[in-house]
Structures are given as C-alpha cells and as structure tokens.
Amino acid sequence: MQREMTMATNGKNSTKTADKLLNIGLGDKARKSSIEILTATLANTFVLYTKSRKFHWNVTGMHFKQLHELFEEQYTILEEAMDETAERVRMLGGISIGTTSEMAQHSALKEAPGVNPDAEGMVRELLTDHETVIQALRQGIDKTTEAGDAGTADFLTGLLESHEKMAWFLRAHLE
C-alpha cells in the first residue's frame, strides 16, 4: 500500500495508480482517447480565454463599452469551462495540464504576441477561434460517442453549445 501511495504522488506514475482504482465501465483505450480530446479542449479553451481577456483589456473605439463587456462575459464562461474540463480529465483518471507551455503545445489555436488588432479585428479573431473550437468539439463528440464514452460526449456537447452561442454573439457584431 505504501508503494501505491508513493506512486500516486509521483506525476508520471499517478495515472497507473488511477488506472488500478478506476472502474467506470470504459476500457483504457477509450479513457485515454477521451483524455487526449479533453486535454486539447482544455488547451484551446485556455488560449481562447487568454485572448478574450487580452482583448477585453485593450479594446478601443466606438463600441468600447459593449465589446469590453462582451469579452468579459465570454472569458468568464471560458474560465469556468477550463475548470470543468480539467476536472473531467481527472474523473477519467488523467492528469490535467496546467502550464502555459503545455497549453500552447496542445492547442490548435495560436497567439500573436505583440499584435493588437482593432476592435473589428478582435471580434473576427475570436470568432475564428470559436469556430475552430466548435469543429474540434464536433470531432471529439463523434470519437467519444464511437468509443462508448457517453459522459464525455455529453460534456463536450455542452461546451459545443456554449461556443456556438459565443460565436453567434461575435458574428452579430460583424453583420
């Protein structure tokens, strides 16, 4: 028992101990696939959260107040989604990433340090990123459904709906 406790606190071996303790009706292959999908989702959410916050701080122009508040609403939603996604990874026996370098490594979204677009450019960039996340979530839903992980498929569906709504709000500013 002492050996298992030591393994549980060692970052690299903790999933091995979790595997022994986890009996949720999903095979290792399905769980690990879901964890990979969730890790990419967490990373994408983190990058989108960070951009939304940056744009919230730096937006200017005729629609400053409206966009400032919209970006704040959206990064608040994304912050909660990050926490829930990291917790879902843990529920499946995985280890949640948590450093900026890990987020950058696993994200399909890219940052542009030092670049501050105008208000319309900010809206367009966030919309494009939400659409990228939406497409990745659809693929993740298909894969987790196929693997028999209904819980993760349902979780991803909720995130999908949230991103679709945020994208709709952004798109409305461009029409």
16-68 pLDDT per residue, tens: 555 567 788 899 999 999 999 999 999 999 999 999 999 999 999 999 999 99
CA separation (Å) from 171 to 11, 67, 123, 124, 135? 42, 12, 8, 8, 16
Domains assigned to the chain: 28-174 (1.20.1260.10)
Tens-digit pLDDT profile for residues 129-154: 999 999 999 999 999 999 999 999 99
Place of tokens 């967490």: 42
Q: What is the pTM of this model?
A: 0.88
Tens-digit pLDDT profile for residues 61-92: 999 999 999 999 999 999 999 999 999 999 99
pLDDT at 57: 97
Place of tokens 């595997």: 19
